[in-house]
Chains A and B, each alone.
Chain A
């Protein structure tokens, strides 16, 4: 027996008809799996009393057992449950009326849910805790903060894992043949059953799966680029280096460093009189800084040698430590990246 390239092509064409079934199983399991994943992940992160324990047990059990056993257990366990329930309620519905693919949907959704739970959880945990705090600071409710600030960032962080789960479920859908669902793998067996050219038909099946996987990977890469655009696309917008400003003998700004990327939103927080407005007025040159360097886009302004006008910390009437903003680089927690802050920050400045 020799390899028959013509039959590979023939099988390939026949297998194309089974692609929708495979994609359907994948889409349903990933879709419902994601919902399960979000609920269980939130229950675990927010430590919701009973739900949390159930979620943990569910995730641990599913992740510790093969996907095939989930399908087998649903296929043989669910009918028992359905029949017992309909018997108790006196309904005429019986498990025989459930299409086999329904069991595959339920089983694979449960499988995907556990893996998605971990993906969602790691995505949410990847978002800096300060982001939520910053959102609270400007008066958002928890739900607003989650929806507007946390979820978009978590999605970006989880994207590679989401794509891997999707690919995992795509590959896992081959198990549906156990439930006599004719997806690509089952079809490959049927196609070859007449002439026993299994090798050829499985080559065709492998090529289809390989192609689908590569498409998913490419699409993810595109999406990742799109999602991460705010991060890498811009480059530096504003850079301050050792900005100093004194009014008379009172030194307000004692060498402020700040970098703002394009598209980034920075909130400057500090008590009254700590120099927030002075800093902003220095950036747009309403106030002339006593030293340092300001870069905005391609324009750089040198405001005298930074160290030339250096006062000793105790030279001012208040000593050092009065202006809360001094020497704290605003990136460190005081300023956070998120949407809708700038307007509020400005308003607060008056």
Chain B
């Protein structure tokens, strides 16, 4: 460890970290895709109050929101092979990345299911009734009327989940994945310039989340296009309405629960 900070190392490490952005983003994208599917599956029984499944998804969400991600990572890393062995599937040669993505997908699945529930709950009940009134079936009303509205309402929450997921990928190093954080820990072994390396790492994460946030914000505005002729006013209006509704509490929960 040096006795002063050498800025040139920050630049050097920043550049040398860049190739690892790929694997971090790979984890983010894969886990969010699978997580969205999981979240949808988990949210449905609770939305439609299916007796036993409803209880199951409640426990699932409570568990994955109630335990630290790091613990979940280890649980899945050590536990999943055991479980699969019972089903006569050998995963001893499966790359670690699969377990990591599984853990992240299950983790974000729990948060996404809450976001979906809140967003669907925020859509006015009268919308479904209006759908029925014009002769739609339950599924049609959900797909054509509720879902498009729910997606735009839930977009800010989902955006926060994406950013949280990006930041959470920093834990994957604990299972030996060479993503950004893992790389940043190995780079300075020769120079012992650890602080400079971590500073570069933090800057890189910051830039990534900043860019993601901007992209998501544009997407959000596009989805809320229909609200008012002027985009900025539209998002403001929407936010206020969501805050007032009952779903607001839950929306905020999902948002803040993603803190890490």
Show the binding face of A for B, using Cβ within 8 Å: 1-3, 61, 64-70, 72-73, 76-77, 79-80, 83-84, 87, 115, 119, 160-161, 164-165, 167-175, 185, 188-189, 198-199, 202-203, 205-206, 209-210, 213-214
Contacts and interface: CB of A to CB of B under 8 A. Distances in A.
A164 B66 CA distance: 11
Interface residues of B, number: 47
27 contacts: A64-B210, A66-B167, A66-B169, A66-B171, A67-B170, A68-B181, A69-B181, A72-B198, A76-B198, A79-B1, A84-B4, A161-B252, A167-B66, A167-B257, A170-B68, A171-B70, A172-B259, A172-B260, A185-B68, A185-B71, A188-B71, A199-B75, A199-B78, A206-B75, A210-B66, A213-B65, A213-B67
Given A69-B181, A161-B252, A199-B82, A64 B66 contact: no
Interface string B164-182: 0001111100000000010
Contacts of A213: 65-67
Interface in B151-200: 163, 167-171, 181, 184-185, 194-195, 198-199
Contacts of B68: 170-174, 185, 209
The secondary-structure label for the interface of chain B is: helix
B138 interface: no
Contacts of A202: 71, 74-75, 78-79
Interface stretch (B125-133, B140-148, B201-209): B201-209
A129 to B, nearest CB: 14
A173 B69 CA distance: 11
Contacts of A160: 249, 252-253, 256
Contacts of B74: 188-189, 198, 202
A165 B205 contact: no
A185 B256 CA distance: 22
B245 interface: no
Contacts of B11: none
Contacts of B252: 160-161, 164
B235 to A, nearest CB: 16
A285 to B, nearest CB: 37
Contacts, number: 141
Contact of A214 (B62, B75, B181): B62
Nearest to B250: A160
B41 interface: no
Contacts of A64: 163, 205-206, 209-210, 213
Given A64-B209, A80-B3, A168-B257, 7 more contacts: A1-B82, A72-B194, A76-B198, A77-B195, A115-B256, A174-B70, A214-B62
A87 B4 CA distance: 12
A313 B154 CA distance: 49
B3 A83 contact: yes
B3 A84 contact: yes
Interface in B37-94: 62-63, 65-72, 74-75, 78-79, 82
Contacts of A209: 66-68, 71
B5 interface: yes
B168 to A, nearest CB: 7
A12 B63 CA distance: 17
A66 B168 contact: yes
A194 B259 CA distance: 34
Interface in B1-51: 1-5
B257 A198 contact: no
Given A73-B202, A160-B249, A206 B5 contact: no
A127 to B, nearest CB: 13
A198 B78 CA distance: 6
Contacts of B202: 61, 65, 69-70, 73
In the A-B complex, the 9 residue pairs with the smallest Cβ-Cβ separation, listed nearest first, are A168-B259, A164-B256, A171-B68, A213-B66, A66-B170, A66-B167, A76-B195, A199-B78, A198-B78
A73 to B, nearest CB: 5
Given A65-B209, A84-B3, A214 B66 contact: yes
A306 B153 CA distance: 44
Contacts of A77: 5, 195, 198-199
A199 B160 CA distance: 31
B209 A119 contact: no
Contact of B206 (A1, A61, A119, A188): A61
Nearest to A79: B1
Contact of A73 (B65, B79, B169, B198): B198
Given A198-B74, A199-B82, A213-B67, A66 B3 contact: no
Given A80-B5, A175-B70, A206-B67, A69 B198 contact: yes
